[in-house]
Chains A and B, each alone.
Chain A
């Protein structure tokens, strides 16, 4: 329940989402109505850097980015696991500290392993 009115949060989130869609659609429609239109072959070519594009652009790409994405997946899931603990950490006291310490130690070991293997090095 929201503070503002008695509308469920789901309905409010959908309202916000539709507002975003409305913003894009309305602005595009207004721009299409009042903007000039002209057609030429040169204009519809890809700009890139001002020179004619050579070859295909949707190509296989450097794998370095991909390795960081995998590492991110690992640590992001870990972050998700930490949230429920974080909310109740105050009430649980010292014992939970030990448990979460072991959990985080395993993760830090994982990071150290990735570091040692050279996954964090940009090649």
Chain B
């Protein structure tokens, strides 16, 4: 596999050769910020088109076709349109919290994006508790949604925010437990080590039964965490106008839109990291020739490809299942999904203790 770390080390040495260490660190931090912003914008633009096209195809339509070839320029038009919309200031809102809420939502998704392993050596934040850090940051995002709903001085946004809060905190438990199941198996929380552990085969195949159950639980919980699919109660448009961001206009609404798509990518990225090997190519133990051919595909293509595939499944859910009610949503989590994930965790612990895995 090509190691992107060689490039960055060479670049670091080059900088250190001509300037003091603090200046080199400053320049590198600025470059990292530019890289994050670039990745964030490109991914958001891609995801908006991806979802619109997929929705269209699920409904036997063509989707956006007029702007550019196959509607490829539609997202740029949308982006400029949202930038030139007026930001209307509403009276009676809690001004400070109303302005603060988009910051919290965007910061949480940007920080999570910086933790993902994009390729061999292409990773920014690399704590030894990596996956735990991602979960911790992801639970900060719900605060932004609650603040947005509360500060808008609107009863519908308040209901939307409360639903969103109840939903996100409930499904976070299943999400965390299914990730713990894999941590028990891997014995590490460091993201680089998690990827390296999957060199012989992905965790989904190595952990067989409990890993597959954990993967299914994760996909369901991730759909609920991102407020999508059958679990999009906070934005149920026939009940709540537009949910917690009804009062936001122009680009301030755009931030929630951006964060929603980025969160979809991030949960898909975590799924590909924990279950499908992150940037690790598809390896079959013993098939050396096959593994070598797979190694020729660049690591970044593997990671992005797997993430887009999981996003495809989550978008597919939305057009297959009808929206659930709030009591169905909460009883599904607390009465079925959470006991199942606890039982699955114990099953995985037994498998690991007895060595019944590959």
Contacts and interface: CB of A to CB of B under 8 A. Distances in A.
Interface stretch (B52-60, B106-114, B284-292, B312-320): B106-114
B154 A20 contact: no
Interface string B145-164: 00000101111101000110
Interface in A4-22: 4-7, 9, 11-13, 15-22
B114 A16 contact: yes
B162 A37 contact: no
Contacts, number: 237
B169 A47 contact: no
B321 to A, nearest CB: 20
A13 B183 contact: no
A97 B349 contact: yes
Interface residues of B, number: 91
B71 interface: no
A35 B124 contact: no
A40 B72 CA distance: 37
Contacts of A27: 83, 251, 254-255
B288 to A, nearest CB: 27
B37 A22 contact: yes
A49 B91 contact: no
Contact of B83 (A22, A31, A86, A89): A31
A87 B187 contact: yes
A9 B83 contact: no
A50 to B, nearest CB: 8
A104 B335 CA distance: 16
Nearest to B129: A83
A34 B326 CA distance: 41
A82 to B, nearest CB: 5
A12 B250 contact: no
Contacts of A62: 162
B335 A69 contact: no
Contact of A7 (B25, B106, B177, B353): B25
Interface of A: 1-7, 9, 11-13, 15-24, 27-28, 30-32, 34-38, 43-49, 53, 57-59, 61-62, 64-65, 68-69, 71-72, 75-76, 79, 82-83, 86-91, 93-94, 96-97, 100-101, 104, 107-108, 111, 115, 120-122
Interface of B: 5, 8-9, 12, 25, 28-29, 32-33, 36-37, 40, 83-94, 102-103, 106-111, 113-114, 121-127, 129, 132, 150, 152-156, 158, 162-163, 165-166, 169-170, 172-173, 176-177, 180, 183-185, 187-189, 192, 241, 246-247, 250-252, 254-255, 326-327, 330-331, 334-335, 338-339, 342, 345-346, 349-350, 352-353
Complex A-B, nearest 4 residue pairs according to Cβ-Cβ distance, in ascending order: A122-B327, A20-B107, A20-B110, A16-B114
